[in-house]
Amino acid sequence: MPRGKPIDAEWLRERYPMMTDINELLDEHEEKFGWRPSKTAVYTKANKLRIRKKPIQGRHKRCERPVYWCKEPEMEAWMLKHDHGQRVDSLSDEFRERFGFGLTRNQINLFRASHGTQVRQDGTRRGGRTRVPVGTERRGKDGYVVVKVREEADVAMSKDNWMLKHVHVWEQANGRKLPKGYLVMFADKNRENFDPDNLVAVSRKLIGVMNAIGYEWHDRESLMTVVAMAKIRVARNRAEASMRRVCPCCGKKFDNLNRLEHGGSIHSTVCEECGKAGRKPPNDSGGRRRKYDHDKMRELHARGYKNEQIADMLGCSAPIVSNAINHELEKRKAKRWQRTS
């Protein structure tokens, strides 16, 4: 798009409401005005002019008819013979004259990609290019090495014949596909070490827990130790969330398993319905927050009791005990800092 060149407002008011494909709209603009704006420029201009698309009933369908090329040998043969890299709208008109309906840009692009007849900007076909052999390696943008594992992609217009090398090595070493929801980690954190013993499959659900634990790993043994600790913490949280409780607001029995699955608090004392409604458990302090004996909490903690044990003794939750103890520690640190300064 030429810098500072505006899009004609009257033309946009006429054509934008009936638009079905932004690329076709850009083609029309280029044919009429001699230059092609960007998609962002069109959307921004339409938004400033408050132009909206009409409901789908008032526009043409995006696809007049689905075409499965493997089941339409006559259409496929015609496309291979008459597709010479011409414009999409011209090819669609020729196809309409022969078969009675036109093709969308996506249908033509999909055909060209699946048959290797894409056209470069210089007019040459991509199908005749020299392909790199299977086993070729290159480095991706994120720093990981990818390797070509098949000659052709299974899905047209995709690159699923390329894989992350460490994932490919893990699958070859274990003789099976990487399970869904898992990723392969480098035990020594060296992305160049593709030794099968250095590659460990870990569930994505454990990654956040492993990072929260705070322990570093440098080899397979230490990584498996951190993974085991993360699994123990997840199992503990699940066991705590599965405990049946009685909602003090409505009297319904509930557990916090659903909250655990969706990242909520497993220490909630009210059921989900009451929580969404904004209800809070009644207390004896006239609606104010209940006060606990923090000195007693710190005394029991100094005597070696765990937070869960203290919570059971005083009738509160473990996080309340933890907050009281941590608050006292912060106060002591602040006093030491004032003395030293």
Domain ranges of the chain: 9-58, 69-115, 137-233, 244-276, 294-340
pLDDT at 78: 92
Tokens 């992609």, residue?
A: 153
Number of H helices, E strands in the chain: 14, 7
Residues with Cβ < 8 Å from 259, sequence gap 6 or more?
A: 241, 265, 266, 268, 272
pLDDT at 195: 94
pLDDT at 340: 65
Buried b (16+ CB within 10 A) or exposed e, 211-232: eeeeeebeebeebeebbeebee
Local structure of residue 128 (DSSP, 8 states): T
Tokens 């990654």, residue?
A: 207
Structural tokens at position 282: 């009644």
Crossing angle (nearest 10°) for helices 88-99 and 22-33: 110
pLDDT at 164: 93
The answer to whether 199 and 170 have CB atoms below 8 angstroms apart is yes
pLDDT at 284: 42
Q: Which helix H or strand E contains 186, and what residues bound it?
A: strand 182-186
The answer to whether 184 and 166 have CB atoms below 8 angstroms apart is yes
pLDDT at 202: 94
pLDDT at 285: 46
Across the 341 residues of the chain, what is the mean pLDDT of every consecutive 10-residue run?
75 86 86 88 89 61 74 89 86 90 86 75 53 88 89 74 93 93 93 93 91 86 93 89 84 84 77 83 55 81 84 79 78 66 56
